[in-house]
Amino acid sequence: MFAFITGLLIGVFAVMGAWGLLYWRKQWLESYIMEEEEPDGDYRVIMRKRSPFQRIAVAESEGIYYVYADGSEMMSTDLAENQYAEAIVHVPMAAAANRESVLIIGSGAGITAREALRYAEVETITAVDVDPIIVQLGREFEPLVNFTNGSLHHPRVKTVLADGREYLENCNDRWDVVIIDLPDPSSKAPDLTKLFSVEFYRLLKTRLNPGGAVAIACSVVSVMPEYLAAVQATLKTAGFHVIPYHWDYIVEFAIDWGFCLATLKPIAPDSIEPLIPVKHLSEDRLEDMFLLPRYLRVDWDEDEVQTDRNTLLIEIVEREFED
């Protein structure tokens, strides 16, 4: 009987250990690609690597490549990425008085740089990103190099490995156009709030040439319209004129991205038209982009802004995940 009970216990513990191992493995895998962020259909994971800042994964499905950071999709080589790039690049380029110098904070693998390089008058693009693995992917991973036309190797592009805030604090350069394409601040990455704060935006003003324009990515506004409202209020407090806009992916991808266009002088939305041929920013689409639908408009206290000392945006993001 003792031998039977002992054998039974060993079997139970073995099963428990196997389930525990499977659970641990699932948790580990989700730290690289969250289940709800997985590509549709079958996919294969090409790379998992931990950078000094985040867990990076690359997956492939039906010829499309996806790059993940801490479980969430960061970029891909699908149609949505091209649409997003047009929205965040060509709007500020059209709004700016000049386009000779461009700064990209959160340059990633070079997709936004690819779009900025299409302007003949652009002389320099400063592409700043803090993560060396992401930049390495943009420079060496063939599917991304093909997708970006090798933008990070272009002689007009200067790649800088640095925190965007620290970079601005330690240089005196000025730019005509600034594109800020960063992840949402979170409790895992609280320092990101300092790239969305009123103090940072005031510093940014001093780095803009007269007639300069800034575009800022404002997350998935369809589920967090408060995020867009908070960024808009923060920019206004810093002294910018602000036009919020959005890119509605709902029909194709069930996502609506928000952006803020910030300028030193007022500009009329109906005066903004792409200066070069684009695939997705039609006249009707532009008109829709600058007309926020009712579900994206929220009542917001203009005094409630992100600063270096509070966690406003983190609270907005984490409320959404709690729900």
Q: Point out the catalytic residue in the list 129, 131, 176, 181.
A: 181
Q: How far apart are CA 62 and CA 77, in angstroms?
A: 11
* C-alpha torsion sign, points 144, 139, 187, 177: negative
Contact 260, 216 (CB under 8 A): yes
Least Cα distance to 218 among 261, 249, 252 occurs for 261
Is 210 strand, coil or helix? strand
Q: Where are the alpha helices (DSSP H) in the chain?
A: 2-30, 79-95, 111-116, 132-140, 142-147, 164-169, 198-205, 225-237, 250-253, 283-289, 312-322
Phi, psi of 198 (to 5 degrees): -65, -35
Contact by Cβ (8 Å): 215, 180: yes
Q: Cα dihedral sign for 23, 27, 29, 30?
A: positive
CA distances from 72 to 31, 33, 290 (A): 9, 6, 28
Contact 227, 313 (CB under 8 A): yes
State how far the Cα of 227 lies from the Cα of 247, in Å rounded to an integer: 15
> Is 163 annotated in the active site?
no
For residue 102, give every residue at least 6 positions away whose Cβ sits within 8 Å of its Cβ, in sequence order, or none.
116, 122, 124, 125, 126, 175, 176, 177, 178, 179
**Annotated active-site positions, please?**
181
